[in-house]
Structure 1
């Protein structure tokens, strides 16, 4: 498997669902990272791990991977629960604590 295609999760600081409708195509690393002896930083010669491509739909990402003869894995996003909360519900008389 050369690439993985997924839809990113929303940020923990984000209450809405903005910017979560993109799909990302990301290359899998070819070689493991190694520690630099002098500085102690981790790195390697694989520059494909820095590449992250964004697509507007899953089908576009799959089409790109097939056109470039890349084997791919699609990770479907988890279903989101719809929670409707009202600020006024905090002060309801029949509120369960």
Structure 2
């Protein structure tokens, strides 16, 4: 979840793993010295830096939190007629 493609690219470049449902989305850094869920991430980061001058998000949860705060109402307007349970089941953030 991001407000625009540039933010979305930064979230992807973080290499963190997304966890979510209709009510929330969070990212978890599961990398350690023996495991990297995105082994080609360094190539993507290089591409992102070269073509857009962007760096990976240090903590993608900050972008997700800002996006949720700013865009939930617009998302609810759009998704509500299609999936009212999404809007009705939402708990306060």
What TM-score do the two structures reach when normalised by structure 2? 0.28
User: Which structure is higher in helix share?
Assistant: 2
Higher strand share: 1
- Radius of gyration: which is bigger? 1
